[in-house]
């Protein structure tokens, strides 16, 4: 019989991604998402605000390596749009509160102001979009009406201009207001995605239609188009496609779709005119006010929403991937047994996507937490980072950073619905995964199995391949060992440790290290055990 095996350990470092279990599809109830092994951690967590309500709706990295965030802040029981700039470590550099974008004169409607999205623009300044109340004189009276806006600042947050978007036909007593959740810069201006509300005063009838708008760089409207499918239609995300057109995602309300709301995608040409649209529905309601939907490398499209029809339980995050014509290729749900909402999505540098999910959202009895999921291009989970802190946390925004990580914006409070909460930013580290290769020879040519000691108290299972991938949660020095066994179960000794530090930025091929640090190699070779 065999008394042992010959083991040669060659460690070659490659940047790679792990393949973790996928979640289910809409056609079945799925198991909860599985925690990935040692996913990326938060580089830092910062809160912003005072003793009242503060919330971030959007956060992005800026060209200087820092971050810009916008949202809502409360001062003396009134609400205002605000903008905060931080350095690469999350330390505040400046903040601006726009006191002109408010509804303070209208009692109990102070919440009629929001800053939904912010981008850094080509002149180095920033553009914020949202909505707020404004005064309108009619018939000798002052009316406070809500409408969307673009708020343009310089690089230091100083206001350069504000433009509101609405249309009033006094003779017909019709008021139409445009609201925007998402804004992008294009070669000759800005594009906003959202919806409009048209109100007929004498009959108190109103309609909501999905909307796309283009302005010049001074905020002057160039064109605007509406997409009317049901009485209530919303679009919350806009993306410029490779053909110069636009891809928008949102949802529709009404009984036309199995009696409930349904997800919707819209594709337009470069002038915002409809090319096609698609509806994705289930027996119960589905909706989204998410941002970050995008065109994929194969020319298709991807969006996310919330489904009450599919998933493991409650309401789960629902992701739909289509081809270039909007025909579904696949869909997947992500979540546990309770309500798991998602308002933020972005592309990942592995051709997949990342989701910012609020776990257990809306519960009066249990805290909610933030979960970040990164997948491959087929929607299979590669890692999950759950950030569990005291109290209630939720995220409304996730965007990529230039180091392969993410910046996440949201809020934190002691309980759900607490009027005193702080805005929050998380900087998520890039995924630090490394693939190692071991090689062994067996005189009988039998299959060889490998077990890895990762130096942090964790071990792999017995693997029937020469490659193993691992991700450490911290940046530190580790000693890696490998153990091998043959088909009959005979094992080698553990190799001598291979010193390894995270993170690494280049390939390590320590062939020179083998015989100096693997002294049992020569002994095993001499023995060359026989049957």
What single string gives the DSSP state of each residue in 301-341?
EEEEEEESSSSSSSSEEEEEEE-TTS-EEEEEEE--SS--E
More confident residue, 495 or 153: 153
Please report which confidence band the pLDDT of residue 56 belongs to, taking 50, 70 and 90 as the band edges: very high
Residue 510: inside a domain, yes or no?
A: yes
Average pLDDT estimate for 37-44 = 69
* The predicted structure's pLDDT at residue 512: 29
Percent of the chain's residues with pLDDT above 70: 79
Q: What is the DSSP string of 331-353?
A: EEEE--SS--EEEEEEE-TTSSE
Contacts of 292 (CB under 8 A, 6+ apart): 237, 344, 345, 346, 347, 398, 399
* The predicted structure's pLDDT at residue 164: 95
Please report which confidence band the pLDDT of residue 258 belongs to, taking 50, 70 and 90 as the band edges: low
* The predicted structure's pLDDT at residue 275: 97
Residue 156: inside a domain, yes or no?
A: no
pLDDT at 133 over 50: yes
Residue 204: inside a domain, yes or no?
A: no
Please report which confidence band the pLDDT of residue 339 belongs to, taking 50, 70 and 90 as the band edges: confident
- From the number of C-beta atoms within 10 Å of its C-beta (0-12, 13-18, 19+), residue 305 rates as buried
pTM, whole model, 2 decimals?
A: 0.76
Residue 11: inside a domain, yes or no?
A: yes
Please report which confidence band the pLDDT of residue 159 belongs to, taking 50, 70 and 90 as the band edges: very high
* The predicted structure's pLDDT at residue 319: 96
pLDDT at 468 over 80: yes
Which SS3 state, helix, strand or coil, does residue 415 take?
coil
- The answer to whether 176 touches 195, Cβ cutoff 8 Å, is no
More confident residue, 316 or 92: 92
Query: Would residue 343 be called left, alpha or beta, if left means φ above 0 and alpha means ψ between -120 and 50 degrees?
Result: alpha
- Total domains in the chain come to 1
In angstroms, the CA 290 to CA 408 distance is: 14
pLDDT at 263 over 90: yes
Residue-number span of the structural domain to which 514 is assigned: 6-17+434-527
Q: For residue 492, what are the CA distances in angstroms to 40, 441, 443, 463, 504?
A: 33, 12, 14, 15, 29
- The answer to whether 217 touches 189, Cβ cutoff 8 Å, is yes
* The predicted structure's pLDDT at residue 369: 86
Average pLDDT estimate for 112-131 = 94
pLDDT at 399 over 90: yes
In angstroms, the CA 441 to CA 439 distance is: 7
Residue 357: inside a domain, yes or no?
A: no
Q: Pick from 29-33, 210-214, 409-413 the range whose average pLDDT is largest.
A: 210-214
Nearest alpha carbon to residue 343 among 371, 364, 322: 371
Q: Pick from 240-244, 253-257, 408-412, 515-519 the range whose average pLDDT is largest.
A: 240-244
Task: Give the mean pLDDT of the chain.
Answer: 81
Residue 291: inside a domain, yes or no?
A: no
Q: What is the DSSP string of 435-491?
A: EEE-EEE-TT----EEEEE-SSS-B---BSSSEEEEE-SS--EEEEEEEEE-TT--B
* The predicted structure's pLDDT at residue 366: 67
* The predicted structure's pLDDT at residue 442: 75
pLDDT at 318 over 70: yes
pLDDT at 352 over 80: yes
More confident residue, 121 or 382: 121
Residue 384: inside a domain, yes or no?
A: no
pLDDT at 94 over 60: yes
Q: Pick from 16-25, 291-300, 311-320 the range whose average pLDDT is largest.
A: 291-300
More confident residue, 391 or 131: 131
Average pLDDT estimate for 458-466 = 88
- The answer to whether 103 touches 133, Cβ cutoff 8 Å, is yes
Please report which confidence band the pLDDT of residue 248 belongs to, taking 50, 70 and 90 as the band edges: very high
* The predicted structure's pLDDT at residue 47: 93
Average pLDDT estimate for 293-317 = 90
- From the number of C-beta atoms within 10 Å of its C-beta (0-12, 13-18, 19+), residue 364 rates as exposed
Q: For residue 191, what are the CA distances in angstroms to 154, 246, 259, 332?
A: 19, 9, 32, 29
Average pLDDT estimate for 248-277 = 86
pLDDT at 152 over 90: yes
CATH number, position 505: 2.60.40.10
pLDDT at 158 over 90: yes
* The predicted structure's pLDDT at residue 361: 76
pLDDT at 505 over 60: no
Average pLDDT estimate for 53-80 = 94
pLDDT at 203 over 60: no
The count of other CB atoms within 10 Å of the CB of residue 154 is 12
pLDDT at 529 over 90: no
In angstroms, the CA 371 to CA 381 distance is: 13
pLDDT at 109 over 80: no
């Amino acid at each position: 019989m065999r008394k042992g095996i010959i083991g040669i350990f060659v460690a070659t470092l490659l940047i790679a991604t792990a393949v973790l279990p996928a979640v289910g599809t809409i056609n079945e109830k799925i198991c909860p998402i599985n925690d990935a092994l040692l996913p990326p951690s938060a580089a830092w967590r910062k809160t912003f605000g005072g003793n009242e309500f503060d919330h971030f709706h959007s956060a992005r990295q800026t060209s200087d390596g820092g971050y810009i965030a916008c949202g809502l802040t409360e001062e003396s029981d009134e609400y205002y749009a605000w903008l905060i700039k931080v350095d690469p470590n999350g330390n505040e550099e400046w903040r601006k509160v726009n006191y002109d974008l408010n509804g303070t004169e209208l009692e109990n409607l102070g919440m009629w102001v929001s800053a939904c999205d912010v981008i850094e623009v080509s002149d180095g300044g920033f553009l914020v979009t949202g909505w707020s109340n404004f005064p309108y004189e009619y018939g000798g009276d002052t009316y406070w009406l809500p409408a969307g806006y673009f708020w343009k600042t310089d690089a230091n947050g100083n206001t350069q201009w504000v433009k509101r978007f609405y249309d009033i036909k006094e003779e017909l007593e019709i008021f139409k207001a445009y609201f925007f959740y998402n804004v992008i810069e294009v070669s000759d201006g800005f594009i906003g995605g959202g919806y409009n509300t048209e109100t007929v005063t004498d009959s108190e009838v109103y309609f909501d239609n999905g909307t796309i708008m283009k302005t010049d760089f001074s905020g002057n409207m160039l064109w605007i188009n509406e997409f009317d499918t049901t009485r209530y239609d919303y679009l919350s995300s806009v993306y410029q496609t490779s053909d110069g057109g636009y891809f928008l995602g949102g949802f529709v309300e009404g009984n036309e779709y199995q009696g409930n709301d349904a997800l919707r995608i819209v594709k337009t040409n470069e002038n915002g005119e409809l090319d096609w649209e698609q509806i994705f529905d289930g027996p119960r309601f589905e909706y989204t006010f998410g941002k970050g939907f995008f065109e994929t490398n194969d020319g298709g499209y991807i969006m996310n929403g919330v489904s009450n029809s599919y998933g493991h339980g409650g309401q789960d995050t629902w992701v739909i991937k289509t081809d270039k014509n909007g025909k579904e290729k696949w869909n997947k749900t992500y979540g546990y047994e309770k309500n798991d909402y998602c308002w933020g999505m972005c592309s990942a540098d592995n051709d997949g996507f990342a989701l910012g999910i609020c776990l257990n959202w809306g519960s009066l009895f249990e805290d909610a937490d933030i979960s970040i999921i990164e997948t491959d291009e087929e929607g299979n989970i590669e890692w999950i980072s759950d950030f569990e802190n005291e109290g209630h946390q939720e995220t409304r925004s996730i965007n990529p950073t230039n180091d392969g990580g993410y910046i996440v914006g949201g809020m934190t409070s002691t309980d759900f619905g607490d009027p005193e909460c702080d805005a929050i930013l998380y900087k998520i580290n890039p995924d630090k995964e490394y693939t190692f290769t071991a090689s062994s020879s067996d005189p009988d040519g039998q299959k060889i199995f490998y077990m890895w000691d990762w130096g942090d108290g964790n071990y792999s299972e017995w693997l029937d391949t020469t490659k193993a991938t691992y991700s450490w949660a911290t940046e530190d020095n580790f000693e890696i060992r490998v153990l091998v066994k043959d088909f009959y179960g005979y094992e080698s000794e553990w190799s001598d440790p291979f010193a390894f530090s995270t993170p690494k930025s280049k390939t390590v091929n320590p062939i020179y290290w083998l015989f100096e640090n693997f002294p049992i190699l020569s002994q095993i070779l001499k023995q060359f055990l026989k049957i």
